[in-house]
Amino acid sequence: MTPTLTRRGWILSTCAWLVLCLAQAPLLTVADTKHDLVADPWGFLHQALSPWTDVFPLGQLQNQAYGYLFPHGLFFALLSWLPDWLTQRLWWTLLLTLAFAGTVKLLDALGPHGTGSRASRLVAAVLFALSPRIMTTLGAISSEAWTIALVPWILLPVVRILGASSPTRRQTATAACSSAVAVLCLGAVNAVASLAAVLPAVIWWVCHARRPTAWRFLAWWVPAGVLACFWWVGPLLILGRYSPPFTDFIESAGITTHWFSLGEVLRGTTSWTPYLSDERQAGAALVGEPVFVAATLFLALLGLWGLSGMSRTRVPYRHVWLVMLGCGLLIFGVAGPFSPVQDAARSFLDGAGAPLRNLHKFDALVHLPLVIGLAHLLGRVSVPGWAQRGHWAHPEKHRPVIMVTAVGLLVATLTAPAWSARLVPVDGYRSVPSYWTEAADWLNDPANGAADSRTMILPRAASARQDWGNTRDEPAQALLDVPWVVRDAVPLVPPEAIRGLDGVQREFDTGAPSESLAAALTQQGVGYLLVRSDLTRVADTPGARSVLRTLRNSPGFTEEASFGDGDVRIFRVGGADGASPTAPRTVHTDDLDVVAGGPEVLPRLAAADGGTPRDRVLTGDAGDLGLAGPVTVTDTPALREHSYGTVTSPDSAIRAAGDPWRGMNPVRDYPVDGAQTTVRETDGRLIPSSAGDDPTSFGGADTLSPVSAAVDGDPTTAWYPASGSPVNQSVTAELAQPVGQLRLTARAQGSALRLHVTTLRGGRTVASSTVQVPVGREKTFTLPPGEADRVELRITGSFGSAGLSEFSLTAPDGTDVTPRRDIVVPTPEGREVSRWVLGQEIPEGTMRRIITVPGPGATVEVSTADCEATTSVDGDAVRCGQSLDLTPGEHTVHSTARWVELTDTTTEASVSDGDAGDRIVYTPTSVNAGRVGTLDVDGTSVELEPVTVNGWSQGWLVPADLAPEMSDEDLAAAVSVDFSATSTYRTWLAAGLGTAVLLLGAWALLLWRGRGDRRSVGITHPEVGSVEVRAASDCAMPTSRVATVAWAGVSWVLAGIPGVLAAAVTVGILRYGPRVWSGVRPSWIFLASGGLATLLLTRSPWGTDGYAGDSSVVQLALVVCLTAVVLTPLARHHRETARRAGSSTSA
């Protein structure tokens, strides 16, 4: 057949894609994938050659940095001499050109004359290149769009070789190597995305597995694929072995699969990001604007029509495309919102299957078959040629003109986000401001000493969105050569290190001075602070004002430099003894303070110790060191719910174990060993409909407004519902036992409340009444008679924001039966307690704790962060320096101070003489099992036992009999630290380079040797598209019964039992309907069900009330539509086969 495009056509199409990309925010660089790729590609690639880095936050294992080595990083590095924005646009041009060209060539190869007409093939290729998936990801994370663009190139050689009549061995090997080279070009930014890109080719092979050619091809394809993927498999295994469990803290399966309804799957809008953020302009338009909802779903229906066989001609390899479509629907449907196994599927994706969590990467399994069906369907549209140009003057008289116009309008609508320049994310920038470069140069200058410390970037921010543009990654990331740290959305370090980082960050929130902050920062290896003032609110940041106020009012900080108009300031951190803050340190095990708590408590303990922090070890780590001395007890870690990905107000108030968990991640908070401080519920429990301390609510958590505030006895706090109107919000009190004739005493805050009070017994309503609760004073109401074990207080009216400050329930005899919620601090079993240090770095208003004094009791001395604050123990006011005798058992501590310390004066702390006992050498970098510390003793290298210091820092134990003659300083300098897998990592990459070169060499040799073979089926010979295509019966064609059962299973996955019933009814109508009425046609069912779904989805897209994607009506309508597509042609095929077989037998 004649190729769709000539050489001139290819050149013109490439130029068209270039013009389109250049039109996207010209001269502006945008936040695409990684900031380093455009800002410092060579430096980024150099860093990727090592698995571990001490430069990035707190020392970390680099997450799949190796995946950018080829082709993404190499492309940007080779073109680094061009302006950043232009390199980005050239990369996008390459991506779109490959997606377009691969689809054209694939359509050319499908059948002896290709699929569709030349014009329809071009239209289909354009719509694949500008599919919703690619338009959503191209400008923001093009690494994901890249794998989609290469899907046709991986599939094309497989289609050609398995469609050839008798390929030679060289042709088979060439096809296998051609497909493998396309796999090599996928890169390794994401292994799952690479798997998703290869899966269509695997499905094609499976559907043709009965052919001998398929197995000969597989014998070449598998080794070639191994050569293509070898370079990144080893580094991936190293990452999997040593990486912290960061997948627990990023987007959960409940988020990534939430928009997997059939309508969104068929439209190709399954990427979750545009539903939550409007940063990706094209993606936000596609998910929320009705015109694009209608157009994309209409396109999907046209593609299904083309695949269905309801048109006059049948698409080549129709059953293969239907199998591929079915596999895609199954992958999306199993975790979709209507799947009966969604809970199990999402649990798997949040657990062992976490790497597969972003299933939207399998979009090509659905979209590619639809594009093929569209090309086939539009192949019937006749395009008026030059000789018929007069027809355009009277289009109403010429149907081809009307059809071409309609197709043109549809294509224009579908691609509007591209030609309206919305492929780029918002907030592009011309360049990083000079003040950032100047600040980085100052820090990189060895004369300023920042190379021997760590620079902390403040304030914290979920992402780097500045008032001059959005880089997403920190602009300093590509500029700094010295170690640095920032608290962003989810640092890729162990959870204990994140807790330790958060503990320091909270010291800046209030803007209050801190005597111990400089020392606490030095303990984390921080010697410099870079304070930026150019962040926007969208960056999710508390802002720089409180940070600057804290630094200027606290001792130990000196402003060294300022850049721009105060946009970036650099402070030097004091509190050090002149040594390098990041240098290894030595501590004697006897000098360690054993702490029952989490790493976040370290700044509080430093303040309690008078600003000179000790090195500490948590109780979980102390056992390994044999430390059995007295313990410092804290109220950390506490049971809270954390909103991952946010950094402002991300933590709830302290919760009870039975409180509802509104987040979707597999863990509530960053996990750490040790017993948790929790709310203990007595005399029943409280169940709020929502609470202001919900970190998942708009604006984050207000920890002064939990449900506990309604029963804490403090009129300054109150339970507020989550953000929004308080009307119809409720709090329900479940009583320990039924009580009759209750009395309610309540006080409101903010504004008066109208409460609908309902008493219940065994789930049944006993009585109800409406009361008006005043502000600022208590009022008592007698509830209607009748025994009740539950009381619901529902807000039915208020003036603006209002909360329930306090309420209590009293029995007729005056007994208080209100459920209590007390915060209880656990005490380590079998350990002597030296002191309790309690605090509220996460504000509570008045801190309330219950501590347990073990043994014979204790005599404690009280100290607080603020001696003017109100503090009481067991209800009696106490002051700083006061001594108290505490009996064994529980005691209550209340205080408005930031922290309270109760030191047992009868406990003697162990003190080391500094000359004996084991020692620990540690560095202020995060713990990782791959890090190895060795000590050279008398020419022998001794590997040291790893330990954890300060809850998160990597240390190594040096036994007392090992190098006892060395001083602490000499010992710290003598320990060498390496990452054990570095040599394996680099060796594997080098070997992978060799396998890639081997694959490319073999491919080139095969192409060169076959250059004169006109029957070549290699992808480098697109002009030879006329391969002989075998009949469909030579392929693995399922029987109608098998297909029906398989589709019933898919329908069950998509919509449960209702889905199976809908499919069964559809099959019944198709099979028996014509017997009742001859006018029944599959096309009628298809159009009716597809039209209904389109109407409903267009009427209520995402962002409107009653989002139709959550409607079971839409889901079932599309199940009916798909049933008509999938089963009708299969049944027709086998009827025709049986008829032909019968005719042959008769003959």
Residues in contact with 352: Cβ distance below 8 Å, sequence separation at least 6, in sequence order: none
- Measured between alpha carbons, how far is 1108 from 261 in angstroms, rounded to an integer? 9
3-class SS at 923? strand
Q: Are 200 and 367 in contact (CB under 8 A)?
A: no
Whole-number pLDDT of residue 578: 60
What is the signed CA dihedral for 960, 962, 968, 972, rounded to 10 degrees?
Answer: -130
Among 1067, 1062, 1061, CA closest to 1044: 1067
- At 536, list the tokens: 């926007």
- At 500, list the tokens: 């330790």
Q: Model pTM greater than 0.85?
A: yes
- At 622, list the tokens: 């102390």
- At 969, list the tokens: 């300083």
- Measured between alpha carbons, how far is 440 from 258 in angstroms, rounded to an integer? 42
Convert the pLDDT of each residue in 807-841 to its tens digit: 999 999 999 999 999 999 998 888 899 999 999 99
Query: Which amino acid belongs to residue 240?
Result: G
Q: Are 692 and 720 in contact (CB under 8 A)?
A: yes
- Measured between alpha carbons, how far is 107 from 377 in angstroms, rounded to an integer? 13
3-class SS at 1088? helix
Whole-number pLDDT of residue 382: 73
Cα 503 to Cα 601, 622, 981, distances in angstroms: 6, 21, 31
DSSP string, 1-36: ---SS-HHHHHHHHHHHHHHHHTSSTT-B---S-HH
Whole-number pLDDT of residue 1016: 45
Convert the pLDDT of each residue in 512-553 to its tens digit: 999 999 999 999 999 999 999 999 988 999 999 999 999 999
- At 14, list the tokens: 């490439």
Cα 631 to Cα 593, 819, 828, distances in angstroms: 7, 33, 8
Assign 3-state DSSP to the chain and report helix, strand, coil percentages, each to 5.
Answer: 45, 20, 35
- At 945, list the tokens: 């036992």
3-class SS at 236? helix
- At 251, list the tokens: 């987007």
Cα 367 to Cα 103, 130, 296, 514, 1029, distances in angstroms: 12, 11, 11, 58, 24
Cα 940 to Cα 548, 936, 943, 959, 963, distances in angstroms: 50, 5, 10, 16, 12
Q: Are 1038 and 319 in contact (CB under 8 A)?
A: yes
Name the DSSP letter for residue 816. Answer: B
Whole-number pLDDT of residue 914: 40
For domain 434-582, the CATH class is alpha beta
Q: Are 783 and 795 in contact (CB under 8 A)?
A: no
- At 757, list the tokens: 């009070």
Whole-number pLDDT of residue 909: 55
Per-residue HEC secondary structure of 569-621 comes to EEEEECCCCCCCCCCCEEEEHHHCEEEECCHHHHHHHHHHCCCCCCCEEEHHH
1005 backbone dihedrals φ, ψ, rounded to 5°: -65, -45
Write out the E strands in 182-231: none
- Measured between alpha carbons, how far is 365 from 325 in angstroms, rounded to an integer? 6
CA 754 from chain centre, in angstroms, equals 42
Query: Which amino acid belongs to residue 525?
Result: G
Whole-number pLDDT of residue 1033: 38
Whole-number pLDDT of residue 934: 96
Beta bridge partners of 255: none
Mean pLDDT per 10-residue run, the chain (1147 residues)?
87 97 97 93 95 92 91 96 97 98 95 87 97 96 96 97 89 96 96 96 94 94 97 94 92 94 97 94 96 97 89 83 96 96 95 94 97 93 68 67 88 96 96 97 94 95 95 95 95 95 93 92 95 94 95 94 96 74 92 95 94 88 85 96 93 94 90 94 95 91 94 91 89 94 94 95 93 93 93 92 94 94 92 94 94 92 94 95 95 96 81 64 95 90 94 95 90 94 96 97 93 50 35 53 88 96 89 68 88 96 94 96 82 49 49
Whole-number pLDDT of residue 489: 92
- Measured between alpha carbons, how far is 421 from 791 in angstroms, rounded to an integer? 57
CATH of domain 683-817: 2.60.120.260
Q: Are 950 and 613 in contact (CB under 8 A)?
A: no
What residue segments make up the domains of the chain, in order of their start? 37-382+397-422+992-1037, 434-582, 584-631+910-927+931-979, 683-817, 1038-1147
